[in-house]
Chains A and B, each alone.
Chain A
Amino acid sequence: MTKKYYVKVENLVKKYPASGKNELLTVFENCSFGIEKGEFVCIIGHSGCGKSTILNILAGLDRATEGNIFMNGKEVLGPSLERGVVFQNYSLLPWLSTLKNVTFGVRARFPQWNKAKVIEHSMKYLELVGLTEAVDRKPAELSGGMRQRVSIARSFATQPKLLLLDEPFGALDALTRGIIQEELIKVWGETKQTVFMITHDVDEAILLADRILLMTNGPFARIAESVKVSIPRPRDRTSVIHHPGFYKIRNHLVDFLVSRSKELTASEAGRAEMQEIAAATHPKELDPAADSQGQHAVVSKVRSTINVRNVK
């Protein structure tokens, strides 16, 4: 696999000190994957598999125990304005107004800009998420959906090269979530940023992503599969479910989450399969909806040259 990725994650391992024990607990290991420039990648897995930790390591807020991350050829060693983060709990500064929360980011990103330009730029992104009416309100006076819009506007306004979204719609009701998902598609469509997003919602992932990474259960979690979403864009909530490939992808994802995420770490056969993936240093690539376009289901099979029995 010699594909040139924009973001390259190599053999990431995270170990935490387990409570009351001397040895470290491995949350995940052998996590390798890549993200292409302009690609929208979602990651799905059960709670505790370390998705958020991977995102925090990508953001530079956390350190991996082993392994490296490269972005655009440079190693990721700490937080940077090149990687914007939208946190699950919005992380707006509550003493600043909506506009000030966005200008906070813009001023940090473009310190050479004058005040008028900073405000103009910030307003442009607040407009994109439909918040021009609420610019003077404090976060406490906004609904959850509006707060997350501010957070999205803040991170898009800083124009990061990689945008990291940590389950951004997890705390929102279904209706609001749907609306903001479409706004996110709209903003992403205009900016063509590279996005890495954590979600628990299978439908959300299919709607938004070009590719979905699937993680097995922790501890010793791995990124097992990379599922391509070959449904043409532009997609929207109402039409995407009528695409012939939608349920093929959805069933594959649900099947993985319900049974295979467990089996792959629990059963002997599953572990062997995981060893192959670890040896190949990239997840198994699948395209469940390829039939709908007349292609083969498995794009590239993992080819392993390592004897499975030798790697325990």
Chain B
Amino acid sequence: MRYRPALRPLIISLVFLFVALGSWEWSSQPPKATEALSEYELLMGGAEQEARVPPPSAVIIHAFNELSDPFYDAGPNDKGIGIQLAYSLYRVLTGFLLAALIAIPCGFVIGMFPVMHKAMNPYVQILKPISPLAWMPLALFIIKDSEASAIFVIFICSIWPMLINTAFGVANVRKDWINVARTHELSDMRTAFTVILPAAAPTILTGMRISIGIAWLVIVAAEMLVGGTGIGYYVWNEWNNLDLTSVIFAIMMIGIVGMMLDLILSSVSRWVAYEE
């Protein structure tokens, strides 16, 4: 076989997966029955008294079944994984876009005027470290709608990284580029759109990536609280159903969707990136 260094990470990766899944599978096997099962044991499905984490083989089979029909809807307690993820994505994207709509223009103003930065910075610093879920009771009381409250929680957690990164990116646009705009007599608006925005775009996109990552983390917890629909509700509901196979499957799906959200934004940021 020819030596191909590009394959090495793939091989190591596959070996790791095999070892991890193998040991998980091996450790989750129920003990073999040593004698014939009693009538009671037959009824209970085996000699085992102790509940176990389902093995990966069971999760994979379950995932295959779920993913072959992801959008079925058989009542509030039994919806396909696709529907649940779609609810969560809808909330995350709505909250995130609303936050972007406010954070990016505000970040622009804070970044362009040092006086605004000084004036607003204390509030940002106090509001930023608040866990977004701490807003939940207040949101429920004021908005009186659990759906909108979940979106508000996403909104409030997405806003800070975008606001801070936009302000930082705008404030640190190279003076030379601003001078180029000034010597070309560009209006403030045109300077903002043709010089400052493209110059700060990579930093703004970094803020958006951080925001959407946090939003996806928070939505699971928010939906566990709010209930009804969504992947967070699904995880908690399957825990109440004692269906750990579904819980593990949902965990995997949360990871995959989160990764995809990040991949989308990282491809956008490649598009606006520039080299100095």
Please tell me if B176 contacts chain A, counting CB pairs below 8 Å: yes
> CB-CB < 8 A to B183: which residues of A?
59-61, 79-81, 83-85
The answer on a CB contact under 8 Å between B199 and A95 is yes
CB distance from B50 to the nearest CB of A (A): 61
Beyond A79-B185, A104-B194, A158-B184, whether A91 also contacts B179 by CB under 8 A is yes
> CB-CB < 8 A to B198: which residues of A?
93, 95
Beyond A87-B176, A87-B179, whether A81 also contacts B185 by CB under 8 A is yes
Cα distance A91–B276 when bound, in Å? 10
The answer on a CB contact under 8 Å between B195 and A93 is yes
Interface residues of A in 155-180 (CB under 8 A from B): 158
Please tell me if A189 contacts chain B, counting CB pairs below 8 Å: no
In this complex, what residue of B is CB-closest to A101? B180
Count contacts on B: residues with CB < 8 A to the other chain: 18
Cα distance A140–B276 when bound, in Å? 6
The answer on a CB contact under 8 Å between B185 and A80 is yes
- Give the secondary structure class of A's interface: loop
Interface residues of B in 249-276 (CB under 8 A from A): 272, 274-276
Beyond A138-B274, A140-B275, whether A108 also contacts B176 by CB under 8 A is no
Please tell me if A68 contacts chain B, counting CB pairs below 8 Å: no
CB distance from A104 to the nearest CB of B (A): 7
The answer on a CB contact under 8 Å between A81 and B176 is no
Partner of B274, one of A84, A95, A158: A95
Please tell me if A94 contacts chain B, counting CB pairs below 8 Å: yes
Partner of A94, one of B179, B184, B186, B276: B276
CB distance from A136 to the nearest CB of B (A): 15
Interface residues of A in 58-105 (CB under 8 A from B): 59-61, 79-81, 83-85, 87, 89, 91, 93-95, 104-105
Cα distance A79–B184 when bound, in Å? 8
> CB-CB < 8 A to A79: which residues of B?
179, 182-183, 185
> CB-CB < 8 A to A109: which residues of B?
184
> CB-CB < 8 A to B184: which residues of A?
81, 104-105, 108-109, 158
Partner of A93, one of B180, B272, B275: B180
> CB-CB < 8 A to A60: which residues of B?
182-183
In this complex, what residue of A is CB-closest to B276? A94
Given A60-B183, A91-B179, A158-B184, 12 more pairs with CB closer than 8 A: A84-B183, A87-B180, A91-B177, A93-B177, A93-B195, A93-B199, A94-B274, A94-B276, A95-B274, A108-B185, A138-B275, A140-B276
Chain B residues at the A interface, C-beta cutoff of 8 Å? 176-177, 179-180, 182-186, 194-195, 198-199, 201, 272, 274-276
Chain A residues at the B interface, C-beta cutoff of 8 Å? 59-61, 79-81, 83-85, 87, 89, 91, 93-95, 104-105, 108-109, 138, 140, 158
Q: Could you pull out 30 A-B pairs where Cβ atoms are within 8 angstroms?
A: A59-B179, A59-B183, A60-B182, A61-B179, A61-B183, A79-B179, A79-B182, A80-B185, A81-B183, A81-B185, A83-B183, A85-B183, A87-B176, A87-B180, A91-B176, A93-B177, A93-B180, A93-B195, A93-B198, A94-B274, A95-B272, A95-B274, A105-B184, A108-B184, A108-B185, A108-B186, A138-B275, A140-B275, A140-B276, A158-B184
